Amino acid sequence: MSVVAADVSKWAVRNVSFELPPGSVTAMVGANGSGKSTLLNVLAGHLPPSSGHASIAGRVAYVPQHKPMYRSFKVADVLQFGRRMNEVWDERRADEWLTRFKVPRRLQVEDLSGGQRTHVTLALALGSRPDVLLLDEPLAELDPLARHKVMRELLTEVNDNGMTLVFSTHVVAEIGGVADRLLLLSNGRLLVDGDTDELLEQHVLYTGPHASKSPVEGPVVLAKHGRSQSSYLVRSGGVRVDEPWTARYVTLEELVVAHLERAA
């Protein structure tokens, strides 16, 4: 295992446990204030958990939510900072990231756009050759095109270097095909922890005539009843259903919303 959280509690976060294998890509999803940042801070070692423990095998790099960076540093100074402050430093990797996203080296950090600053912090994080990279809302300040590109590049880094990637987001539409693991947090609790593909295959939405009982066996995530119609989102594992019911797979977004609604 590359990242382990064992019964971690801290502030809003309560008794969260999970384990992430090396080379996995995990999306941490939840509303604002659900404890994502706290949990990432605990994993990164910046906060001691009040109970339980978190551990990471190998080197960890963490890019927190607001992408803090010394404002008076020039971009080149940031690279020098990384080189001097780390025992392991991959100048080329950091440098290439900045080149790829056209970040001017001569500017001071305070003169950069939000997106450029994100790239500078990402370059610093990647340059230290982390085994585990923790990103808190990495895409928040990027335009849609850059978001896609950053994700693609990060996934390439994961593929090339066997890095483990954990990122938080509240845009569920971004994680399909990107994350192979979903951690859904709500009010500091872990609601869902699973392989995204498996989750998609397990959850089926059944729609049919008004009924007080689910047409299939399995845990009901959410039931909705209209005047003449009922729909059940069931973690049925893809069980088929007879007429007059219809079944369809749900999107990750529907799945997440259903779980959050249920928890609310």
- 204/227 with CB nearer other proteins: 204
- Measured torsion, CA atoms of residues 104, 161, 40, 65, in degrees rounded to the nearest 10: 10
Asked whether 196 and 24 are in contact (CB, 8 A), the reply is no
The helix (H) or strand (E) run that includes residue 200 is helix 196-202
34 binds other proteins (CB under 8 A): no
Stretch that binds other proteins, among 29-37, 92-100, 138-146, 233-241 (CB under 8 A): 233-241
- Nearer CB in complex with other proteins: 231/251: 251
Any contact of residue 50 with other proteins (CB under 8 A)?
Answer: no
* Residue entry with tokens 């423990």: 53
Asked whether the beta carbons of 157 and 233 are under 8 A apart, the reply is: no
Q: Exposure string (b/e) for 152-190, b if CB count within 10 Å is 16 or more?
A: ebbbebbeebebbbbbbbeebebbeebbbbbbbbbbbbb
With CB under 8 A as the rule, give the number of residues binding other proteins.
97
- Please select the residue that binds other proteins; options are 31, 70, 99, 224, rule is CB under 8 A: 70
Nearer Cβ to other proteins (115/192) = 192
Smallest distance from other proteins to CB 24, Å: 7
Q: Is 37 in the site for other proteins (CB under 8 A)?
A: no
With CA atoms as reference, report the closest residue to 203 among 242, 264, 254: 254
Binding flag, residue 53, other proteins (CB under 8 A): yes
Binding residues for other proteins restricted to 235-264, rule: CB under 8 A: 235-239, 248-255, 259, 262
Q: How far is the CB of 174 from other proteins (least distance, A)?
A: 7
**Burial of 74 from C-beta contacts in 10 A (0-12 / 13-18 / 19+):** middle
- Tokens at residue 58, please? 């190998």
Please choose, out of 31-39, 93-101, 138-146, 156-164, the segment that lies near other proteins by the rule CB under 8 A: 156-164
- The site map against other proteins for 79-118 (x = CB under 8 A) is -xxx-xxxxx------------------------------
Minimum distance of other proteins from residue 228's CB (angstroms): 21
- 177's CB contacts (< 8 A; 6+ apart) are none
Q: Is 121 in the site for other proteins (CB under 8 A)?
A: yes
Where is 230: in which H helix or E strand?
strand 229-235
Q: For residues 191-230, which are near other proteins according to CB under 8 A?
A: 191-194, 196-198, 200-202, 217-221
